[in-house]
Chains A and B, each alone.
Chain A
Amino acid sequence: MLKVLWKSLRTGVVTEPPPARDDAELERLGIEVKRHIDRKFAGSLAVREVDAGSCNGCELEIHALNNPYYDVERFGVHFVASPRHADVLLVTGVVSRHMETALRRTLRATPRPRYVIAAGSCACDGGEFGISYASSGAVENVVGVDLRIPGCPPTPEQLLRGILLFLEQPGGSD
């Protein structure tokens, strides 16, 4: 136990300040926002991650959001185990046809207000896999998408910017 405490103390705090939320910067990153969200999400966002057909690259970067450097929980963003606990579905990958119903059901199980974020190039525009006998392509081909965060995969910083933008978007409720 002492070794664990000592190691933690010696490592110290590595968490970095959040990325600057400059609109031009976000524009450059090509993040599109389709809908405004209710201000009441600010301070707490429950995210259910759904891999609809990714290569697992996006998952690795989403995992990184929970590492000490990015520590996404300090913004009130936490990942939940069930869609029933979620405000947002964070969907990666093309929607493989074998995952189509699972994705639809997961969305249906998410109580309103609910939003869908498509993370990664495959989720945004079909990536390397497009539409085929096996794949329905971009997430928006199957369910409505409120925010797109492109990248192959998007870096944790790009994901964080996208999520923070989403959290602080002013505007009416849906």
Chain B
Amino acid sequence: MNRFDWLSGFLARLEDEHVMVGPKAVRELSPAQVLEIDPENWGRVAEVAAAEGYRWSAIWADEHAQEMRLFSCFENEGDYLMLETGLALDSKLALPSQAPFYPAADRMERHIHDLLGIEFAEAPDTRRWTRHQAWDEDCFPLRRKASPDGAPPARTPADGDYPFERIAGSGVYEIPVGPVHAGIIEPGHFRFQAVGEEVLNLEQHLGYVHRGVEKRAVGRDADGLLKLAARVSGDSAVAHAWAACQAIERAWKIVPSRRALQLRGLLAERERIANHIGDIGAICNDVGFAFAQMQCSRLREEIQRRNAELFGHRLLMDVLVVGGVTVDLDVEAIAQLRADMQALSVEASRLFDVLNDQPALEDRLLTTGRLSHDSARELGCTGYVGKASGCGFDVRSNNPYAPYDQLAIEPVVHEQGDVAARVRVRMKEVLVSLEWMDRLLGGLADGPVRIEATPHSAPCEGLGVVDGWRGETLAYVRFDEDGRVARYFPRDPSWHTWPALERIVMGNIVPDFPVCNKSVNGSYAGHDL
């Protein structure tokens, strides 16, 4: 496969649209190619990309000494193309929105506005998003000159005046849910408009667990950044840490040993199967089938105990470090793991057969919460949400990174797009990952699991892209000349799946919201940052 053989065609298309791109405009930021464009073309280029069918993946901004740099990220045929532009700090910080062409850009642009003050012209929605009542509208906490302490009120009031959309009509009523939810779950607000039991509209209001991850990253060293990355979303400790490691390692031009990368793959897949198994149980529990919850949580517990025993942490936090991983596996441990996985494979298969054979479960999960293929594409959903609706993109297969480059993993796709499909995708991914891990463990390379990692003494930047269990996970890291983090942006896949949930639940009954929500299982913390 020739990477980027479509790029020249795209540049020609841009020329047709009178978007001038200079000869030196393309640079590399592995694994992406970066195209520098003028800010006034920011929307136009996105429009062309949308017309060409490219997937939109992320946008973030980064304040340098003299200018504000912006990046947005697209994917086509497995290749990553980024756009880059700059706004002089003493000018008006504004450029066109990409949201009219890519709806998932909406919230990320509003997040950028709330934290950095950049305005996106012709954005379909200009309401605040991440900002609630802890800082004012003319305050931008991620700006360099803004102190990390901010100037918050002594007591931050509730966010009572967020302008939700309302539906008027006979019999329409409004149900507010959250931020504190009835179960053991992260906080967020859901505003339903319903008639009888049917949901006419769901509007989310997130940002309740905004902890200031991006601000907290500034000034850290690489080790400190990894600690933070593992806690962006605790259930995705490996995914976010791996993306951050990739970004740092590319910035510093170091390559971990093959063995270290294989172990990272092992850890990432263990994280995947633990979460998938847990989710399958929880989804069934949300429709009253406690048997599944008990069986799945039992299996999840066994995975986590083995994680603690072999890797020192039940959730695998702090096992990935720059240059490799902290723990090696000896021959005995490998044999034990393989035995584990083989047993789990049989056990999980049998359990899934039982679950797939329950008419009551089918009745609740089939056709519930359907996400159309078009919606999934439009929103750029990856992970099990995208895959259940026919969008099969998976970084491990479409843009393989070690160890998936040498050991391919089977992609999983379903078409129905309902809750049942999202369960089926998870089930298949569990079995596929178990089989893949077994093959991996049968062929671990020799070598150290950690190599020396010395920071550069010059400013540098890097991009990391991995397939976490929720989907495509990005990390951008930039270091200043002191080797301290100047910018960290983790892009959790939930930015794309949260808006999908709003579409998923429409036309379903209110009591099916929990199962729809669980079937998507977006990260609140990973999204709110």
Contacts and interface: CB of A to CB of B under 8 A. Distances in A.
Q: Do A and B come from one complex?
A: yes
B294 A67 contact: yes
A64 B301 CA distance: 7
Given A97-B152, A99-B187, 4 more contacts: A54-B525, A57-B315, A98-B179, A102-B179
Main secondary structure of the interface of B (DSSP, over half): loop
Given A56-B524, A128-B227, A93 B297 contact: no
Closest 7 pairs (CB-CB, A-B): A133-B150, A57-B234, A134-B212, A67-B297, A55-B234, A97-B134, A81-B182
Nearest to A156: B301
B211 A153 contact: no
Contacts of A52: 187
B158 A102 contact: yes
Interface stretch (B6-14, B76-84, B350-358, B372-380): B350-358
B315 A60 contact: yes
Nearest to A120: B234
A83 B95 CA distance: 46
B211 A129 contact: yes
Nearest to A66: B297
Interface of B: 132-135, 141, 146-152, 155-159, 179-180, 182-187, 207-213, 215-216, 227-228, 231-235, 237, 278, 291, 294-295, 297-298, 300-301, 304, 308, 314-315, 317, 350-351, 353-354, 357-358, 523-525, 528
A45 to B, nearest CB: 15
B347 to A, nearest CB: 9
A79 interface: yes
B135 A133 contact: yes
Nearest to B281: A67
Contacts of B227: 128
A152 B180 contact: no
Contact of B209 (A60, A62, A99, A127): A99
Nearest to B135: A133
Interface residues of A, number: 56
A8 interface: yes
A100 B233 contact: no
Interface of A: 3-4, 7-8, 11, 14, 49-64, 66-69, 79, 81-83, 93-94, 96-106, 127-136, 152-153, 155
Contacts of B213: 129
A100 B156 contact: yes
B235 A132 contact: no
Nearest to A8: B291
B157 A101 contact: yes
Contacts of A4: 291, 354, 358
Contact of B354 (A7, A49, A67): A7
A62 B184 contact: yes
A127 to B, nearest CB: 8
Contacts of B141: 133-134
A3 B354 contact: yes
Contacts of A152: 231, 317
B178 to A, nearest CB: 8
Nearest to B153: A97
Contacts of B155: 100-101, 104
Contacts of A130: 216
Given A53-B209, A99-B179, A79 B158 contact: no
Contacts of B180: 50, 83, 102-103, 106
B179 A61 contact: no
A132 B148 CA distance: 6
Contacts of A83: 180
A79 B300 CA distance: 20
Given A79-B184, A97-B152, A133-B141, A55 B231 contact: yes
Nearest to A100: B156
B282 to A, nearest CB: 8
A56 B527 CA distance: 12
A82 B181 CA distance: 9
13 contacts: A8-B291, A54-B209, A62-B184, A63-B184, A63-B278, A67-B297, A67-B301, A93-B211, A98-B208, A99-B208, A101-B156, A133-B215, A135-B211
B298 A51 contact: no
| Residue of B159, B187, B353 ringed by the most chain A CB atoms within 10 A | B187
Contacts of B278: 60, 63
